[in-house]
Structure formats: structure tokens, C-alpha cells
Amino acid sequence: MQFYEDMVVGEVQRFGAYPVTREDVIAFATKYDPQPFHLDDAAAAQTHFGRISASGWHTCAMTMAMLVENHKNTGHQGLGSPGVDDLRWLRPVYPGDTLSVETELLEKRRSKTKPDRGLFRAATRAFNQDGVMVLSMTSRAMVRTRDPQGTD
């Protein structure tokens, strides 16, 4: 189990291997982001993408899937997030890519009003199989404390 007390500022974790399929790219885009360059080869060829690419929102969803799987594997005691401070789609994600994730704990503190939780800020970066960063975001989240009476 990973509680607030187990988290170390500056720690970097690397995990995940998410294969991006053409079928998933088109299915996601059809439902949530039906722009032509996510759906149609000919339309995509006329853009800077050059071919069908995943929606940035799909890239976020794939990254989130890897984060949640990592949380399950580590027993992370997450309590949700109040949001993302910064989000960038840096490079296109294409069918055939395989994504992975890196997280870095930037800061943490105990909640002043709710002693059963801590708050933290983390940088999350997603990479394709060539090590090219395709997404970066900074987010804030809450995590359960092991000892609500503890101090930092």
C-alpha cells in the first residue's frame, strides 16, 4: 500500500505499455472528437499529421488508464484530484505507437483541515516507443494518510 507518508518528493516512476490501435483511435474519435484527421486517411493526409492520429483527449485517456493500473499495482491510496494545472500535447500519437508513462512527485503537504489525507502535485509525461514525449501535464491530487495524527 502506498500512503502519503510513503511518497518521496523528487521520486520518478516509469511504467506502462499501452498499444495504440487504429480501431481504438477511430472509435474514440467517432464518439468524442470527430475531427476528420482522427477519422479519415485522406483528410488526415492533408494536415500536418500526415495520417490518422489519436485525439489529444484520447492520449489523456490512455495515459490515465496507465496511471490507474499503476495505482492498482502499487496500492496507491488515491482520493481523487481537483484538476490539472497544465496540459500539453507535444507530438501526435499514431496507430501502432506504444505509450508509456513517467511521473515525478513535485511537492506534497498534509491537509490542514482533513488530517486523513495529504495533497500532492505531480508531473506526468507520456512517451511513445521511441522515447519521444507526446504529452505532459502537471496535476494535483489527494492521497490517504496512514497516520492522520502524524506530522511531516
Encode 38-104 in three state secondary structure: HHCHHHHHCCCCCCCCCCHHHHHHHHHHHHHHHHHHHCECECCCCEEEEEEECCCCCCCCEEEEEEE
Closest Cα partner for 108 from 66, 145, 83? 145
Position 71 in a domain = yes
Q: Residue 29, SS3?
A: helix
Q: For residue 152, tell me if it sits in a domain.
A: no
Whether 47 maps to a domain, the answer reads yes
**4: DSSP letter:** G
What are residue 18's DSSP bridge partners? 99
Per-residue pLDDT tens for 91-105? 999 999 999 999 999
Q: What is the pTM of this model?
A: 0.95
CATH number for the domain including 33? 3.10.129.10
Question: What's the domain count of the chain?
Answer: 1
Confidence check: pLDDT of 152 > 90: no
pLDDT value at position 52? Answer: 98
Quick check: 15 pLDDT over 80?
yes
Q: Is residue 149 part of a domain?
A: no
Range of the domain at 53: 4-144
- pLDDT of 7 higher than 80: yes
- Any idea what DSSP says for residue 49? T
